[in-house]
Amino acid sequence: MAVSMHYATYPRFVISQVSSSVCLIAGLLLLAAGVSVYLAALINLQAGLRSDGLVTHGLYAIMRHPLYATSIFLVIPGVAIAFRSWLLLPMPLIAYVACRAVLPAEEGELLDRHGDQFMQYRQRTNALFPLRLPWLCGQDKGAKRKD
């Protein structure tokens, strides 16, 4: 939808401060990284789902939702930059807010299905960020995770 609006109003929302070549290369690099990481996470997820267990290996060892994270932080920004569109630049933020809105229901299902195993996994991994930094986790060094 936003891409079609970008083209319908072209060139109104074009990022003109940066050359099209630079934007295209940067956008394609983000997209390539995003698609690669997304596929790796998808392979981890499919392998885990075949065993009907909680997936905690591969990318899932460092974050609980790598498919969402990859889309929000690599794929969507890559598209926005490749298209040189100011209109598309807020899309990662919108996707992040939407993701945070649906995560409680998804994690509730995981908790119902996997119980204590999911609780322990949740305490040691962030939802969307692979880093365990206190200011990203909203916790003190010795405190347990709350998100």
CATH topology of domain 2-137: Four Helix Bundle (Hemerythrin (Met), subunit A) (1.20.120)
Torsion of CA 112, 115, 117, 119, to 10 degrees: 90
Residue 92: Cβ within 10 Å count? 19
Domain positions in the chain: 2-137
Q: Do residues 85 and 141 make contact, with C-beta atoms less than 8 angstroms apart?
A: no
Q: What's the confidence (pLDDT) of residue 32? A: 97
Q: What is the pLDDT of residue 142?
A: 44
pTM equals: 0.79
Of the chain, the end-to-end C-alpha distance in Å amounts to 32
Q: Give the model confidence (pLDDT) of 106-130 as tens digits.
A: 999 999 999 999 999 999 899 998 8
In this prediction, residue 1 carries a pLDDT of: 67
- Range 20-58 burial, b when 16+ CB lie within 10 A, else e: eeebeeebeebbeebeebbeebeebbeebeeeeebbbee
How far is it, in rounded angstroms, from Cα 110 to Cα 52? 12
Nearest to 95 by CA among 137, 67, 132, 57: 67
The pLDDT tens digits of the residues spanning 45-101 come to 998 888 888 999 889 999 999 999 999 999 999 999 998 888 888 999 999 999 999
Residue 3: pLDDT band with limits 50, 70, 90: low
Q: How confident is residue 146, by pLDDT bands cut at 50, 70 and 90?
A: very low
Query: For residue 141, is pLDDT > 60?
Result: no
Instruction: Tell me the CA distances in angstroms from 37 to 68, 70, 133, one per residue in order.
Output: 11, 7, 21
Query: Mean pLDDT score of the chain, rounded to an integer?
Result: 85
